[in-house]
Amino acid sequence: MSRADETVWEVFARKAYEEPLHHVGTVTESDEDLAVVSARAIYDEQAWIEMIIVPRPSIREAISA
């Protein structure tokens, strides 16, 4: 099964409401729902209270490296 059309999703999470979301890694999936399942399964080492995923193509650089 080809993975050529898959999207990289950036994963952000936080452990406490007073904390900002931190970048914790990425997952690669073509399907948004599968990306959510994968992110929760892969980055489960902490007791997160919130986790979000963002498709990398939606990110816009304000300052380029």
Partner 1 sequence: MSTGSVRVDPATATMISLIGSLADNKGALGRRYGEWAVSAPTIESAVAAAAMAQDELGHARSTYPVLAKLGVGEFGSGPSAAGHGIEPDSPKGIRPLQSPESGGVEPDSPGPEESGLDTGHPMFVISQELPDWASFIAANLVVDGVLTTFVAGTRDSSIEPLAQRARKILQEEGAHRVHAEAWARRIVAAGGDDLRLLVQRIEEMWAQAARWPGPDSDPGYQDAIAQGMVRDGPLAIRDRVRDWLTALMEGFGVSVSLPEPGDWSDWDPLHRR
**Cβ at position 59, least distance to partner 1 in Å:** 20
- Choose the stretch contacting partner 1; rule: CB under 8 A; options: 16-24, 39-47, 48-56, 57-65: 39-47
Q: Which is nearer to partner 1, 19 or 44 (CB)?
A: 44
Residue 31 in the binding site for partner 1 (CB under 8 A): yes
DSSP string, 1-65: ---TT-EEEEEEEESSTTSPPEEEEEEEESSHHHHHHHHHHHT-SS--SEEEEEEGGG---SS--
Query: Counting contacts by CB under 8 A, is residue 46 touching partner 1?
Result: no
Least distance CB 37 / partner 1 (angstroms): 5
